[in-house]
């Protein structure tokens, strides 16, 4: 019937539009910092939440395509969020604007995990991964220029065109570069995601241009010292470990591992002959030594950030009321509104922030929900790897911790957490979801 055909065409069109809007979301996630720093600094404030109206449109087109938005995870978090919203107005900080922002932080973008998981196909995720690898040389070039340029240089300008620069303290007078992002954590997170895709394509080289793959690998290695980031170095090694595990599943994959083990030392040796790499490596080594003396070594730092960040959520907040301080209280937006300055009112750890805002009951419930989702994805990705689909398992090398305890109070980290979860779910789609 004509009516049925019209409805089907409308649903397919809404599905395509949702997919394209998700691509736009990822593009803005990668480059909104460049807009805020270099091209539209006078709009730096509004651009902070430019993905919010886009997310609302994505939800609308997703529902228009006939999909359901509510499931166990979204419905549970929705209930927790609304309950905390009411408690915040009645017993918490009682600031409506901060409360609304906190509810937005908790809920709005969380839907993207499942929207992307339903709308995107495995081939879509591979396409996104190819572009992540293709732009690796450009991203490495940018952080290289930032590394060797003074903070007063245009390439290092901060948000809103701040002439003091966007770099963060590194070592030997060199600053950690921010790349196309507002802050250094965005650059590190992008390179970490790209590394997961890079190692996936090393296991499946037929799915990407070989020259682009080699250039991407060299760029990713060069970015380790240029970023002056221990987090990225550990993440790169973790993705490499997942690659080794996935390479044991078949003779062809083991052969690809052998080729990687032969080529990678050559790339490292070639980079080591370049002066820029030697200098940045010296800076990274110096930062390691300084951090080791203050934090007790890399292994101690990792355990403190991961395990310590989780346990502090339950030890640091023992003095808080049962209903928490209120939604949004742990964000920089709240600090600006309530105190007039930028600070972490409830600590830097993500779980500490959640429990501090929502209280021990709703907060721990929210933390457990994220933990259940993370391990759900880990089990599904591991089973997919055993069936021959390595993509979700490799993405878990980056996405598991982002979903589990990635910071949602900072917009860039928030966006990467949602995209990571969505891409993992979408990569589990063995069939093409657009074929129907």
Residue 49 to residue 36: CA distance in whole angstroms: 11
3-state DSSP assignment of residue 213? helix
In tens, the pLDDT along 99-108 reads 999 999 999 9
Residue 296's pLDDT is: 56
The SS3 assignment for 331 reads coil
pLDDT value of position 263: 79
For residue 166, give every residue at least 6 positions away whose Cβ sits within 8 Å of its Cβ, in sequence order, or none. Answer: 37, 156, 157, 158, 159, 178, 182, 183, 184
Q: Which pLDDT score is estimated for 260?
A: 77
Q: Write down the pLDDT at residue 293.
A: 64
Per this entry, what is the length of the chain?
A: 436
DSSP three-state, residue 329: coil
Residue 283 gets which letter from DSSP?
H
- pLDDT attached to residue 436: 44
CA atoms of 63 and 52, how far apart (whole Å): 17
Q: Which residues of the chain have pLDDT under 70?
A: 1-10, 292-318, 335, 339-345, 347, 431-436
Q: Which residues pair with 174 in a beta bridge?
A: 171
CA-CA distances (angstroms) from residue 252 to 133, 202, 212, 381?
A: 22, 12, 21, 20
* pLDDT for the residue numbered 390: 95
What is the separation of C-alpha 210 from the centre of its chain, rounded to a whole number of angstroms? Answer: 26
Q: Is the dihedral of CA 160, 163, 164, 168 positive or negative?
A: positive
Domain ranges of the chain: 1-67, 72-119+298-436, 134-295
pLDDT at res. 368: 96
Cα–Cα nearest to 224, from 209, 207, 240, 213: 240
């Amino acid at each position: 019937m004509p009516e049925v055909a019209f409805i089907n065409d409308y649903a397919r069109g809404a599905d395509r539009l949702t997919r394209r809007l998700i691509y736009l979301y990822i593009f803005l996630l990668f480059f909104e910092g460049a807009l805020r720093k270099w091209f539209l600094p006078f709009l730096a404030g509004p651009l902070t939440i430019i993905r919010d109206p886009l997310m609302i449109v994505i939800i609308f087109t997703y529902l228009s395509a006939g999909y359901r938005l509510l499931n166990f995870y979204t419905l549970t978090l929705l209930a927790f969020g609304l309950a905390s919203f009411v408690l915040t107005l009645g017993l918490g900080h009682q600031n409506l604007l901060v409360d609304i922002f906190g509810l937005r932080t908790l809920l709005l973008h969380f839907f993207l995990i499942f929207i992307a998981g339903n709308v995107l196909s495995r081939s879509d995720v591979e396409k996104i991964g190819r572009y992540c690898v293709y732009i690796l040389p450009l991203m490495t070039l940018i952080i290289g220029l930032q590394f060797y340029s003074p903070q007063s240089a245009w390439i290092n300008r901060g948000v809103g065109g701040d002439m003091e620069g966007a770099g963060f303290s590194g070592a030997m007078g060199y600053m950690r570069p921010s790349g196309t992002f507002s802050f250094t954590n965005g650059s590190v997170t992008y390179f970490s995601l790209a590394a997961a895709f890079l190692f996936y394509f090393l296991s499946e080289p037929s799915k990407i241009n070989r020259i682009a793959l080699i250039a991407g690998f060299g760029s990713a290695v060069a970015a380790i010292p240029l970023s002056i980031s221990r987090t990225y170095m550990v993440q790169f090694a973790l993705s490499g470990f997942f690659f080794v595990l996935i390479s044991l599943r078949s003779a062809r994959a083991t052969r690809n591992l052998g080729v990687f083990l032969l080529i990678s030392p050559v790339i490292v040796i070639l980079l080591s002959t370049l002066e820029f790499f030697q200098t940045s490596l010296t800076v990274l080594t110096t930062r390691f030594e300084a951090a080791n003396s203050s934090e007790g070594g890399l292994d101690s730092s990792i355990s403190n950030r991961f395990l310590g960040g989780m346990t502090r959520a339950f030890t640091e907040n023992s003095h808080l009321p049962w209903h928490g301080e209120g939604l949004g209280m742990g964000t920089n937006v709240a600090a600006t509104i309530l105190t007039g300055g930028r600070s972490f009112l409830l600590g830097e750890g993500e779980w500490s922030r959640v429990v501090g805002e929502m209280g021990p009951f709703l907060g721990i419930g929210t933390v457990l929900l994220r933990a259940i989702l993370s391990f759900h994805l880990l089990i599904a990705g591991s089973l997919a790897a055993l069936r021959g689909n390595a993509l979700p398992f490799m993405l878990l090398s980056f996405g598991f911790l982002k979903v589990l305890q990635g910071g949602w109070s900072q917009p860039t980290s928030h966006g990467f957490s949602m995209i990571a979860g969505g891409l993992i779910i979408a990569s589990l789609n063995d069939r093409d979801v657009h074929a129907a």
